[in-house]
Structure 1
Amino acid sequence: MIRKTGAEVRLEGIGKRYGQVQAVKPLDLVIEGGTLVTLLGPSGCGKTTLLRMIAGLEQATDGRLFIGGRDVTLLPAGERNVSMVFQSYALFPHMSVLDNVAYGLVSSGMRRRDAHARAEAALETVGLKGFGTRLPSEMSGGQQQRVAVARALVLEPDVLLFDEPLSNLDARLRRSMREEIRALQQRLGLTVVYVTHDQSEALAVSDRIVVMRNAEIAQAGTPEELYTRPSSVFVATFMGEANRVPGTIESVTGSTAQVAIGGVRVGLPDRGLQPGPADVVIRPEAIRIMPVDAPDTLPATVARATYMGSHTEYLFATEVGELFAVGPQRLSRHREGDQVRLGLDLEGVVLVAP
């Protein structure tokens, strides 16, 4: 298939109400052409409703929606030139793989021979060359997912939409499929909007992530921005394991805040906060087990140590509360009840708004 630059998607004050229920509060969002943007959030946050509004499967009650500069707010799904890959794959069980992929083209009036030629090319794009004569029931879950992607690609959409596409697959297959989807998106220059509640999936595939909460955008940015500089405790904890502890901003000089975390004092970016009580987020990988005489460390007791093969997971009891940490030690592990000192890698420690 020919590489092309995907279309920009622009949402201006887009919102959705069901009676008195605000499923998506009016919001603005720009998805640049040729990028993969993930809508991430817990169930009921509005991410799937937002995706369905882009697809034309739901009618927006507020705002305007543009695809490739064209106002499609009032257009039905069939006139928007978008394709959607559903969680259930939605393949016709009585049709061959080739007929499943060609179905949209044949339905739109294309000659069957031409549609099959396009479908064969789409199957080759997703690594299923030669599988066209099989039935969906003769394919694995991962292969069925590829068929669903091929069926969407064959229509040459301006925007490709994914709704929880990997939730029916096992963990190992999810990992390989998300890598394939990302590679395909980059190779073809597609604009992709991807919905998931799995933060590791979002981190792995996205150019940008839009974290949603309570029907609105909590924060949008690159995976690195959201993980290392979350704007709130919610975003910090949703973007991976995170320890939330109380701290005190003692002073701010320039853009650096001197922060007390128990008996430890550290300098952190102030994030616009003023002296006084503050929330501090500490990533598990930022916690270091230190020698008992190490300065500027937190005294801690090992409350739990769980062997995980390649690493050990710890739960420490400290003066600022329980801390979850990941230790690389495999052979010389600490045991429950051990007294240790904990140091902090500042790259994984951040001040956040409550």
Structure 2
Amino acid sequence: MTNSTLQLGAEPIAARKPAAEVRLEGVGKRYGKVTAVKPLDLVIEAGSLVTLLGPSGCGKTTLLRMIAGLEQPTDGRLLIGGRDVTHLPPGERDVSMVFQSYALFPHMTIAQNVAFGLISGGMAKDAALAKADLALDQVGLPGLGGRLPSELSGGQQQRVAVARALVLEPSVLLFDEPLSNLDARLRRRMREEIRDLQQRLGVTVVYVTHDQSEALAVADKIVVMRNSEIAQIGSPRELYQQPANTFVASFMGECNNVKADLADVAGGRGRLTLGSSQVLTAVPDGLEQGQVDVAIRPEAVRVLPKDSGCLQGVVSHATYMGSCIEYEIETDIGGLFVVCGDIAGMRAKGDPVGLDFVASGIAVVRP
């Protein structure tokens, strides 16, 4: 086994303590006249991994810090495992946090870094170091306890930070953009390992990120935040395929925002006209027929020969991406960004094309 692989057969070090539900009831945060988080309600189920996703300044990190006890709410109350912890300090909440910077002590060995919280809490040094070794085994770093942080790669240091949090056996584990300092390839591998570790331990995880691909990859549920409040909550599939509004649609990945005509609205569904094509699609509650906003995913557009399909267009830009071609195509309903897997049939700038649509990638949204 290499250090880049977690020990799937290892005995979970945090299995002795059940995961806890996190419940926020009207929780908000103000700094004078500035509102960082508008009062909101949120339930994070025990044993689930929930991602707080949104742009910088939307309130997601402030919300995480309130759960951790590093910030005090100015409104509402916060419960962990059914216990009101609103005014308790971080050390009495049974949570551990993995920070963006990792914050490892450079003069301490890896084992000493991991054991630091246990020793500070009164555990005997030998016992704490033994637990630290188990925690390092759990995150795929066996035998590295004697090294210094400077002797490890960025990905290994990230695992050390996770081990330091896990060794405290928390009911809730908090991550504050833990992969932002890693390169793209390592981020992809580490997010898979974090997800695998969470599922094996069954611990409740609240995970902050601004990277939608990271959120889609790890989360049971995603909380999309905007302007200090919740924009939408749902599973990764729900948010990608059925965004509530244009902001969520655009933030959850590449998206074409166009206008289209909606008719025959009944039972939460309606008939959408795109070019000469009519697509049956879900309709948000209370939305009536007429011109509506539509989100079309790039992979939901099929590129066909000229005079085929339901809509005609002209390629304005074509980019070879290795596994696919990215097109920008001008049409009567506006410019469309399209991802096409037909590498051999790559069109050039100025080529006329026909287009058709896959209904599963189209959603009627609110502005």
Name the structure 2 match of 1:217. Answer: 230
| TM-score (structure 2 length as normaliser) | 0.94
Name the structure 2 match of 1:35. Answer: 48
Tell me how far apart the structure 2 counterparts of residues 12 and 256 of structure 1 sit (CA, whole Å).
Answer: 33
Tell me how far apart the structure 1 counterparts of residues 117 and 301 of structure 2 sit (CA, whole Å).
Answer: 53
Q: Report whether the alignment pairs 1:111 with 2:124.
A: yes
Tell me how far apart the structure 1 counterparts of residues 208 and 149 of structure 2 sit (CA, whole Å).
Answer: 24
Tell me how far apart the structure 2 counterparts of residues 120 and 231 of structure 1 sit (CA, whole Å).
Answer: 46
The amino acid that maps onto 2:81 is G
Name the structure 1 match of 2:149. Answer: 136
The correspondence for 2:302, drawn from 288, 300, 307, is 288
Tell me how far apart the structure 2 counterparts of residues 121 and 158 of structure 1 sit (CA, whole Å).
Answer: 18
Tell me how far apart the structure 2 counterparts of residues 195 and 24 of structure 1 sit (CA, whole Å).
Answer: 15
Tell me how far apart the structure 2 counterparts of residues 28 and 95 of structure 1 sit (CA, whole Å).
Answer: 41
Name the structure 2 match of 1:303. Answer: 316
Name the structure 2 match of 1:172. Answer: 185
Name the structure 2 match of 1:190. Answer: 203
The correspondence for 1:314, drawn from 316, 322, 327, is 327
Name the structure 2 match of 1:79. Answer: 92
Tell me how far apart the structure 2 counterparts of residues 96 and 160 of structure 1 sit (CA, whole Å).
Answer: 23
Q: Which structure 2 residue ranges, 5 or more long, are not aligned?
A: 1-12
The amino acid that maps onto 1:215 is S
In the alignment of these two chains, the number of paired residues is: 353
Tell me how far apart the structure 2 counterparts of residues 8 and 254 of structure 1 sit (CA, whole Å).
Answer: 35
Name the structure 2 match of 1:48. Answer: 61
Q: CA shift at 1:271, angstroms?
A: 2.3
Q: Report whether the alignment pairs 1:121 with 2:134.
A: yes
Tell me how far apart the structure 1 counterparts of residues 47 and 266 of structure 2 sit (CA, whole Å).
Answer: 41
Q: Which structure 1 residue ranges, 5 or more long, are not aligned?
A: none
Going from structure 1 to structure 2, the CA distance change for 1:83 and 1:306 (only over 3 Å counts) comes to same
Tell me how far apart the structure 1 counterparts of residues 218 and 111 of structure 2 sit (CA, whole Å).
Answer: 28
Tell me how far apart the structure 1 counterparts of residues 14 and 181 of structure 2 sit (CA, whole Å).
Answer: 30
Tell me which moved more, 162-171 or 323-332: 323-332
Tell me how far apart the structure 2 counterparts of residues 300 and 89 of structure 1 sit (CA, whole Å).
Answer: 50
Aligned pairs (5 A) from 1:4-15: 4-15=17-28
Tell me how far apart the structure 1 counterparts of residues 332 and 25 of structure 2 sit (CA, whole Å).
Answer: 47
Tell me how far apart the structure 2 counterparts of residues 5 and 309 of structure 1 sit (CA, whole Å).
Answer: 46
CA offset digits 1:167-190 (Å, max 9, x no partner): 000000000000010000000011
Q: CA shift at 1:2, angstroms?
A: 4.7
The correspondence for 2:254, drawn from 241, 244, 251, is 241
Residue 279 of structure 1: SS of its match in structure 2?
strand
Q: CA shift at 1:277, angstroms?
A: 1.3
Tell me how far apart the structure 2 counterparts of residues 327 and 294 of structure 1 sit (CA, whole Å).
Answer: 16
Q: Report whether the alignment pairs 1:145 with 2:155.
A: no
CA offset digits 1:306-351 (Å, max 9, x no partner): 0011110000000111100101011221111110110000000110
Name the structure 1 match of 2:3. Answer: none
Tell me how far apart the structure 1 counterparts of residues 351 and 304 of structure 2 sit (CA, whole Å).
Answer: 13
Name the structure 2 match of 1:277. Answer: 291
Q: CA shift at 1:265, angstroms?
A: 2.6
| Residues 307, 353 of structure 2: 8 Å contact kept | no
Q: CA shift at 1:19, angstroms?
A: 0.2
| TM-score (structure 1 length as normaliser) | 0.98
Q: CA shift at 1:270, angstroms?
A: 2.3
Name the structure 1 match of 2:336. Answer: 323
Name the structure 2 match of 1:18. Answer: 31
Residue 176 of structure 1: SS of its match in structure 2?
helix
CA offset digits 1:241-296 (Å, max 9, x no partner): 1100011113324433122234433222222321111001100000001233435x
Tell me how far apart the structure 1 counterparts of residues 22 and 14 of structure 2 sit (CA, whole Å).
Answer: 21
Identity of aligned residues (%): 65
| Residues 14, 166 of structure 2: 8 Å contact kept | no
Tell me how far apart the structure 1 counterparts of residues 273 and 325 of structure 2 sit (CA, whole Å).
Answer: 28
The correspondence for 1:341, drawn from 351, 354, 360, is 354
RMSD, matched Cα: 1.0
Tell me how far apart the structure 2 counterparts of residues 137 and 2 of structure 1 sit (CA, whole Å).
Answer: 28
The correspondence for 1:101, drawn from 104, 111, 114, is 114
Tell me how far apart the structure 2 counterparts of residues 220 and 242 of structure 1 sit (CA, whole Å).
Answer: 19
Tell me how far apart the structure 2 counterparts of residues 253 and 60 of structure 1 sit (CA, whole Å).
Answer: 43
The amino acid that maps onto 2:283 is D
Name the structure 1 match of 2:74. Answer: 61
Residue 98 of structure 1: SS of its match in structure 2?
helix
